Amino acid sequence: MDLFLTAMFESLRMCVDPMLLFLIFIAVIWGNIGGALPGVGPNLTVAVILPFTFGMTTEQAIACLVAANCACSYGNSIPAILIGVPGTSSAVLTAVDGYALHKQGKSGLALGVQFYAAVLGQFLSIFFFFATVVPLASLTYILLSPEMFALYFLGICAVISITGDNILKGLAAAVIGFTITLVGRDPVTAVPRFHYFVEATRGFDITAVLIGLLAVGELFRQMRQSFNWGGGKQKIRAKFPSWKILGSMTPMILMGCAIGSIVGAIPGIGGNTAAFISYTQAKLWSKHPELFGHGAIDGIAANESSQNAAQAGEMVPTFGLGIPGSSTMVLLFAAMLMHGFIPGPMLITQAPQLLYAAGAGLWATSFMLLIIGWPLCMVLYRVVTIDRLIVIIGALALCMIGVYTINSSIFDVLVMLASGVIGYFMMRYGYSIAAAAITAVLGRGFEAYLRRGLMLTNGSLWDFVSRPWTALILFFCLVLLVYGTIGTIKMARKSAEIKRLQLEAHLAKKSA
């Protein structure tokens, strides 16, 4: 309890630093813009500013990245409501009911519910974050190399099994990410390996790789798409709804916040799944389920509180276990690595200021959105009308400049572009970018802890896996892999059945 209160107090104390508040404010504005621009999303939003945070202190960098990520989850619902095009996939269900209300002339009601649910959901999730991540510090005394290996393996298994419809493609994506980590110095002996270029002796810069996979790959994909949002010139007048209406949404918001926080804390799932579960539960508990899909404010409230609360939930395994909770958290993980810190249970005791900085980012973002969130709605609506070509070229240029400034290396820029090409083709053919990115971050630790653990047990594999905590975690890994395999088999059967029905329909039509 003392640690919990200390973490809460210290994170709030950080919020009075004028310089930190200014940087968070800039990050919040940028995050809202990135969220409002359909197709940009949190990965690209955070990736663009990541290289520029290396000129800041570690605390400032962490707070800014957290703020940008959280603000992105708020901004993504503005275009979803006003033009029916969600900024990110987690706002898809908001687009269904929000845009329906907008067409009914109730834009203010939809935006007001979205504002209230998003800010309240994000604020309440802060308590869940501290209450969950602080006790993980006690794991420091029981986690040796075998247990750390098992935790890293759990994170990789989770993202392989849960993201995507095919576990084999998830496994292939993880292999790609792990292969990247093999280049450079051996994590145990420090002997260079697979360094076919002199520049690769130190290994590929992880930031360049991640920005390439998560951001540049998405930019390449968008270059092949045509964007025409429409409706950008119409005038919007939105009246803020009464607090009585908003107050009636509180039960749905609390439910969405709880689901978002818990589901978001499961590595590899994130806000998309949390939003879908919350929306489904809201429909089950709502007094007017017939309105869902046609302008249900219950659906908007549950979806918005859930997807915003999930941002704090994703930070729990990132800080507490050293396992990125989502692809965006991979970038936050990389930032801490670049500043010389390794996330995990020991981070909480050895560098608690980073935990306080993350909390400060959550607190400050919630308070800022409470003040400027409503006026931002109309501004963000205008942002959506920006020419998509300008956004793509500008984002790509910022990525290249940012990556170059890290080590003043053209080779890093080339690595980023090459990773972007790999990321583009992975997305195109249905391979999990998240699996590749998370494995690229965890790969070196995964290998190092495995080899050190075997050294600890004198090379005995049985002594390694039979340690109580190691065995328990590896059991969960097995459960995840079995779950993913069953899901893949079900999807394959479903796909085969659909193809069979389509063939039968085609043959019946041809014979007729």
Give 130's DSSP letter: H
Residue 268 is assigned to a structural domain of this protein? yes
What pLDDT is recorded for position 192? 81
Residue 395 is assigned to a structural domain of this protein? yes
Q: How confident is the model at residue 234 (pLDDT cuts 50, 70, 90)?
A: low
Q: Which one has a higher pLDDT value, 267 or 189?
A: 189
Query: Can you list the alpha helix ranges (DSSP code H) found in 270-326?
Result: 270-285, 297-320
Q: How confident is the model at residue 302 (pLDDT cuts 50, 70, 90)?
A: confident
Count the Cβ atoms, other than its own, within 10 Å of residue 297: 27
Each residue's pLDDT tens digit, 160-186? 876 666 788 888 888 998 998 888 888
Give SS3 for 101.
helix
Residue 216 is assigned to a structural domain of this protein? yes
What pLDDT is recorded for position 385? 62
Q: Give me the DSSP letters along 158-181.
A: HHHHHSSS-HHHHHHHHHHHHHHH
Residue 118 is assigned to a structural domain of this protein? yes
Interatomic CA distance for residues 426 and 421, integer angstroms: 9
Average pLDDT, the chain: 82
Number of domains making up the chain: 1
Count the Cβ atoms, other than its own, within 10 Å of residue 458: 8
Residue 511 is assigned to a structural domain of this protein? no
What pLDDT is recorded for position 262? 86
Each residue's pLDDT tens digit, 437-456? 888 888 888 888 888 888 88
What pLDDT is recorded for position 165? 67
Give SS3 for 294.
coil
CA-wise closest residue to 205 among 45, 402, 416, 61 = 416
pTM: 0.81
Interatomic CA distance for residues 231 and 237, integer angstroms: 14
Q: Is the separation of the CB atoms in 101 and 234 below 8 Å?
A: no
What percent of the chain lies above the pLDDT cut of 90? 7
Q: How confident is the model at residue 19 (pLDDT cuts 50, 70, 90)?
A: very high
Interatomic CA distance for residues 61 and 43, integer angstroms: 16
Mean predicted confidence (pLDDT) in 95-107 = 82
CA-wise closest residue to 273 among 285, 283, 284, 262 = 262
Query: 192 — phi, psi (to 5°)?
Result: -65, 145
- Poorest-confidence range of 72-86, 123-137, 440-454? 72-86
Q: How confident is the model at residue 364 (pLDDT cuts 50, 70, 90)?
A: very high
CA-wise closest residue to 262 among 98, 131, 364 = 131
Residue 127 is assigned to a structural domain of this protein? yes
Q: Which one has a higher pLDDT value, 468 or 1?
A: 468
User: At what angle are helices 107-133 and 92-103 packed, to 10 degrees?
Assistant: 160
Residue 510 is assigned to a structural domain of this protein? no
Whether residue 231 is predicted with pLDDT greater than 50 in this model: the reply is no
Each residue's pLDDT tens digit, 465-485? 888 888 988 998 888 888 888
Whether residue 102 is predicted with pLDDT greater than 50 in this model: the reply is yes
Whether residue 244 is predicted with pLDDT greater than 50 in this model: the reply is yes
Domain encompassing residue 29 = 2-186+200-227+236-501
Residue 193 is assigned to a structural domain of this protein? no
CA-to-CA dists, residue 91 to 27, 239, 336, angstroms: 21, 22, 29
Mean predicted confidence (pLDDT) in 238-259 = 82
Interatomic CA distance for residues 505 and 206, integer angstroms: 50
